[in-house]
C-alpha cells in the first residue's frame, strides 16, 4: 500500500520532517536519559517508614486534611459516638473539638507540652475559637521542630496508646470540664479514640479511659454532699427569718389573750 501526499501539504511536511530527523533530537534524548536522577534518602529506621506511611503522619500541620482522612475511615458506630457525645455535653463537645485534641496529641507527640495542651483546652472551652487554637498549636509545633533541627535531635517515638491518653485528658478538660467521667461517656470515648488511633492497642486505650470513670459510691457521696449543702443553706435562711417569725407569734398570742379577757359583747363588736 503506497502513501500519497497532496501537493499542497507536501511543502509543510518537508519543513517539519528535517527538524525531527536531525541529529539534535537524538542528542537531546540521550542527554536527558543520562541526567542523574535525585535519589531519595533512605529512612533511618523502619519506624520512620511506618510513620511516614501512616494516616496520622501524612498531614503534618494540616488539621482539615487530618479530619477528612480520619473521618473517611470511621465506622457508623464511631460517627454516631461523636454526635452522641455532643448531645450529652453541648457545644463544647463538637466533633471538630474532639478531633483537634486528637490531632494535637497524635502529631505533637514529642513536640507539644502537656501544659500547653491543657491551657488550650481550657481556653477553647471558654472562647469556642477553634481557628485560634489551631494556629497556636501549629506555631508551637513548628517552633519545637525548628529547635530539634538546630540541635540535630530526632523527635522521640511516643506509643499510640500514650498519645490517645494525652488526647483524652485534653478532651475531658475542654468538652466535659472535669477529668472524672461516667460510664456512658467512657463508652463513647473508647469508641472515638479507638477509631482515631487504630494502630494503638485497643485494650490499653480502653484501660486508660476506664481509669477516669468515677465509681458509683463517689457519685452518691457527692450527691449527698450537695444535699447537705442545700439543707445548710435552708437552715441559714430559716435562722435568719426565725427572729421575725418569733416576734410575730408573740404579738398574735398577746392579741389572742386580750380577746379572751374581754366580755362576749365586746368580742362580737371587735369581730364586727
Question: What pTM value is reported for the model?
Answer: 0.60
76-89 tens-digit pLDDT: 999 999 999 999 99
Q: Which three cell numbers stand for residue 136?
A: 497556636
Give the span between the Cα atoms of 168 and 189, in whole angstroms. 8
Taking CA atoms, 153 is separated from 52, 111, 142, in Å, by: 18, 12, 15
The percent helix, strand, coil of the chain (3-state, each to 5) is 75, 0, 20
Burial environment of residue 110 by CB neighbours within 10 A (0 to 12, 13 to 18, 19 or more): middle
Q: Considering the chain, what is the average pLDDT of its residues?
A: 74
Q: Is 181 helix (H, G, I), strand (E, B) or coil?
A: strand
pLDDT at 69: 87
Q: Where are the domains of the chain?
A: 59-217
**103 close to 87: Cβ distance less than 8 angstroms:** no
Q: What is the pLDDT along the chain (272 residues), one digit of tens a residue?
A: 444 444 444 454 444 444 444 555 445 544 544 444 444 443 333 334 334 444 444 444 588 888 988 888 899 999 999 999 999 999 999 999 999 999 999 999 889 999 999 999 999 999 999 999 999 999 999 999 999 999 988 888 999 999 999 999 999 999 999 989 999 999 999 999 999 999 999 999 999 999 999 876 555 455 555 555 555 554 554 454 445 555 655 666 666 666 566 555 554 544 44
> Residue 213 pairs with which residues in a beta bridge?
181
Amino acid at each position: 500500500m503506497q502513501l500519497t501526499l497532496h501537493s499542497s501539504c507536501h511543502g509543510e511536511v518537508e519543513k517539519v520532517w528535517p527538524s525531527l530527523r536531525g541529529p539534535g533530537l537524538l542528542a537531546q534524548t540521550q542527554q536527558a536519559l543520562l541526567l542523574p536522577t535525585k535519589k531519595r534518602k533512605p529512612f533511618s529506621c523502619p519506624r520512620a517508614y511506618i510513620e511516614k506511611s501512616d494516616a496520622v503522619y501524612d498531614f503534618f500541620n494540616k488539621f482539615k486534611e487530618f479530619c477528612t482522612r480520619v473521618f473517611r475511615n470511621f465506622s457508623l458506630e464511631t460517627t454516631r459516638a461523636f454526635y452522641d457525645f455532643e448531645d450529652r455535653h453541648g457545644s463544647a463537645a463538637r466533633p471538630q473539638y474532639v478531633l483537634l485534641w486528637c490531632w494535637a496529641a497524635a502529631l505533637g507527640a514529642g513536640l507539644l507540652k502537656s501544659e500547653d495542651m491543657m491551657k488550650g483546652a481550657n481556653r477553647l472551652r471558654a472562647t469556642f475559637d477553634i481557628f485560634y487554637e489551631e494556629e497556636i498549636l501549629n506555631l508551637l509545633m513548628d517552633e519545637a521542630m525548628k529547635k530539634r533541627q538546630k540541635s540535630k535531635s530526632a523527635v522521640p517515638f511516643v506509643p499510640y496508646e500514650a498519645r490517645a491518653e494525652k488526647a483524652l485528658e485534653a478532651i475531658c478538660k475542654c468538652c466535659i470540664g472535669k477529668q472524672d467521667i461516667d460510664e456512658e461517656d467512657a463508652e463513647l470515648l473508647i469508641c472515638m479514640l479507638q477509631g482515631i488511633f487504630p494502630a494503638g492497642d485497643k485494650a490499653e486505650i480502653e484501660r486508660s479511659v476506664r481509669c477516669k470513670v468515677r465509681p458509683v459510691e463517689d457519685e452518691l457521696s457527692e450527691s449527698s454532699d450537695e444535699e447537705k449543702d442545700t439543707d445548710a443553706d435552708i437552715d441559714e435562711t430559716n435562722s435568719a427569718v426565725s427572729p421575725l417569725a418569733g416576734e410575730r407569734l408573740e404579738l398574735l398570742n398577746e392579741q389572742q389573750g386580750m380577746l379572751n379577757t374581754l366580755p362576749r359583747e365586746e368580742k362580737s363588736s371587735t369581730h364586727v
